[in-house]
Amino acid sequence: MLTYVANRALQFALALIVASVVVFALMSVLPGNAAQVALGTNATPEAVAALEAQYGLDQPPATRYLGWVTGMLGGDFGTSYVTGAAITPVIVGSVQVTGILVVAAIALAIVIAVPLGTFAALEQRNWIGVTISALSQIGIAVPNFLAAVILVIVFSLTLGWFPSQGWMAPIEGFGGFLARLVLPVVSLALVQAAILTRYVRSAVLDVMREDYIRTARAKGLTRTRALFAHGLRNAAIPVITVAGVQLATLLVGAVIIEQIFVIPGIGSELVRAVANRDLLAVQGIVMVLVLLVLIINLIVDILVPVVDPRIRNAA
């Protein structure tokens, strides 16, 4: 098991290094001069050259890359070319906001999907199971932004139960924080819950066809007790993998939701940085998103052998 974890950690480190090179290279080959953009079209060549020297833009690419990576390892993402402010506090604050949204959304999606998917599998020939399957299929077809718009119209504009936009940190008022959290979290969770429900249903159906479930039932256990006693652990393996993929997808999906609800998350900061052509901020934000996705994949890779002894023993 230790060898397995070490191999996954090595793959994580290599992937992170490759990703940093790719992100830096893509930002470097974009047309336009960052110093010129920051100063405006009327800037003199002397002013542009001075700003390039200030931010090290006149140095060779390899030197700039090493300086960028070294700074990130020390928690310093540099200084914005446009605003002149430190980028690190902006990224840290926005990641916290997006993290709250994404973790709450995936937790809600799992709470909805696991019982519904299991029940749909156990009652696959009844109208309730068929209805759950149909609703989950419809939910997959509904994009997050459409679900957000519908929720705002119904629960904010019509009923007035929740604010339609804005954000409040928990320390500023927990009640206001929860009120502003509900609609964006539900908007993100609904589609993910529909997808996970389909996977849970499929995983449970596959487990119910296994010989050990038939043996358990032949010993007198009911279908439900046999599943809970012997099948859920095996059914959880594909669900954990898919949940990890969906969690990574939520990081991207949160960009649109943050725009709709005017939430200062990492997606909103990325859109702002792109609009302002703040390339160093874009570079840092994209790298943080890549890091989060790789961390999620690493956690899933470690959890799967913990749940499945066969993988753990093979490792």
pLDDT at position 274 is 80
Whether residue 98 contacts residue 268, with contact meaning beta carbons closer than 8 Å, is answered with no
pLDDT at position 118 is 80
Enter the pTM of the model. 0.77
pLDDT at position 169 is 76
- Mean pLDDT, the chain, rounded, equals 78
Instruction: Examine the pLDDT at 286 and tell me if it is beyond 70.
Output: yes
Cα 188 from Cα 132, distance rounded (Å): 19
Q: What percent of the chain has pLDDT over 70?
A: 79
Give the residue from 94, 89, 102 showing the smallest Cα distance to 252.
102
Of the listed ranges 18-22, 58-62, 230-234, 285-289, the one predicted with least confidence: 230-234
Instruction: Examine the pLDDT at 61 and tell me if it is beyond 80.
Output: no
Q: Which whole number is the average pLDDT over 286-303?
A: 83
pLDDT at position 125 is 74
pLDDT at position 221 is 67
CATH topology of domain 88-265: MetI-like fold (1.10.3720)
Of 216 and 101, the one with more pLDDT: 101
Q: How confident is the model at residue 179 (pLDDT cuts 50, 70, 90)?
A: confident
Give the residue from 260, 278, 274 showing the smallest Cα distance to 85.
278
